[in-house]
Amino acid sequence: MIAEKIILGIDPGTAIMGFGLISVKKGKMEMVSIHELILKKYPNHETKLKYIFEKTLALIDEYHPDEVALEAPFFGKNVQSMLKLGRAQGVAMAASLYRNIPITEYSPKKIKMAITGNGNASKEQVAGMLQNLLNLKEFPTKYLDASDGLAVAVCHHFNSGTITDTKSYSGWDSFLKQNPDRLK
């Protein structure tokens, strides 16, 4: 068994891109860091892609993740938005592959289901459950895109077969019933 695994989760975006890093030691998760890249201020899509690549590489070089997990773009009605999101995801993937780090994609519904037990959960519900799962007194960022990056990392851990706890939860009520000591 690996002593420690670092997972970088990425929520691609063209306005705000979220990054979350977790460490897994002996099946226990701990948040390492959380970041957001504010892209709204840049004048064009090409400049945004450059900063996405640079930020992803910088995080990889600083934290040396063993694996990278990304949220896959969802299918929407706006083709231009999907194209831009796909490019943002592709650039993050390219940065990861450039450093020879394996990548995995998860659909937004799968991520929400892994974290909350509800594939239609709100961003706020996901952030609340992450706060509980990672024993955070308060959430370290105001941007839910950053918490979504953290959710991707946690989802990847839950789906990698390394989790030691085999309990399953269908939502907040189920989680709290099985873990009354986690309620503060």
Give catalytic residue positions.
Answer: 11, 71, 145
Instruction: Report the run of H or E that residue 7 belongs to, with start and end.
Output: strand 5-11
DSSP state of 182: G
Distance CA 17, CA 19 (A): 7
**Cα 170 to Cα 63, 136, 140, 173, distances in angstroms:** 33, 22, 26, 8
Q: CB pairs under 8 A, 24+ apart, for 81-86?
A: 81/14, 84/14, 84/45, 85/12, 85/13, 85/14
CA 49, 51, 54, 58 dihedral sign is: negative
68 phi, psi to nearest 5 deg: -125, 135
66 is in an annotated binding site: no
Read off the tokens for 116: 């909350």
Residues comprising the binding site? 11, 71, 145
Binding site for Mg(2+): what residues are annotated?
11, 71, 145
